[in-house]
Structure 1
């Protein structure tokens, strides 16, 4: 079964404009065209589009996605190169997740900090709070902040 650009856009939740951009950038060499030049997507093209979207969300530049697609189109001789590209992107995403986790932990700490200060009516209450009175999941952030403060 074939799908038009509008039909496939609805199915994969990507705008037709984005699909046309992908085509212009060379990301859709696998898409067939009708005799009149209309792009005709097949069921197998869903997987390609999902991979492209995954890599975009993972922060991979369009030019690198194109390189990966070109390598894929070359066949099995490029399996090792493709594997390395995916490993590198996986590592980049893992690093980003770790950074986001640190950010989330600090935000949780600051929420606890201001909730505690609001209940007491002052931030001064936090100057005398004992470590054991700080929620267990927030303590590492508090300890890290103390270390950073000592460095300056």
Structure 2
């Protein structure tokens, strides 16, 4: 009998749906998962780690086509190390640009919070 996590258990562990895990496999983002004698998927700890990496890449805005390309490069072995490095360097630059945008957004929110806080205090004092 094959040990490991069911699709439902794996989905819960990584915060995705079982449907999404199956889709990841169908799209080539995940290598075909080992199956038990009844044909049910059984995820191992390495599969869970890989899924968590894919989730981080997706969360940071990496398009699925690049994630698929990355998965293909990993499967190709060490001959793709430079390409993987380049992919991550380019993605890192996009993440840093997004962080800078978010920092500007946060600065604007902080300004509005400050202005409205002062206005609310002034309004309360005028009412007294």
TM-score after normalising by structure 1: 0.73
1:26 to 28, 32, 51: 28
SS state of the match for residue 72, structure 2? helix
Structure 1's unaligned 5+ residue stretches are 122-152
Work out which structure has the larger RCO, using CA pairs closer than 8 Å and 6 or more positions apart in sequence. Answer: 2
| Maintained 8 Å contact 1:30/1:45 | no
1:49 to 51, 54, 60: 51
Return the alpha-carbon distance in structure 2 between the equivalents of residues 87 and 35 of structure 1: 42
| Maintained 8 Å contact 2:54/2:67 | yes
Change (3 A) 1:30 1:23: closer
Counterparts of residues 49-68 of structure 1 (less than 5 Å): 49-68=51-70
Return the alpha-carbon distance in structure 1 between the equivalents of residues 24 and 104 of structure 2: 34
1:96 — aligned with what? 98
SS state of the match for residue 32, structure 1? coil
Which range is displaced more, 95-104 or 22-31? 22-31
Q: Which has the larger radius of gyration?
A: 1
Structure 1 runs (4+) deviating above 6 angstroms are: none
2:17 — aligned with what? 15
TM-score after normalising by structure 2: 0.86
2:7 — aligned with what? 5
Shift of 1:43: 1.4
Return the alpha-carbon distance in structure 2 between the equivalents of residues 75 and 30 of structure 1: 17
Return the alpha-carbon distance in structure 2 between the equivalents of residues 38 and 49 of structure 1: 18
Shift of 1:14: 1.7
Query: What is the root-mean-square deviation of aligned Cα atoms in Å?
Result: 1.5
- In the alignment of these two chains, the number of paired residues is 121
Structure 2's unaligned 5+ residue stretches are 124-128
Residue 107, structure 1, aligned to residue 109, structure 2: yes
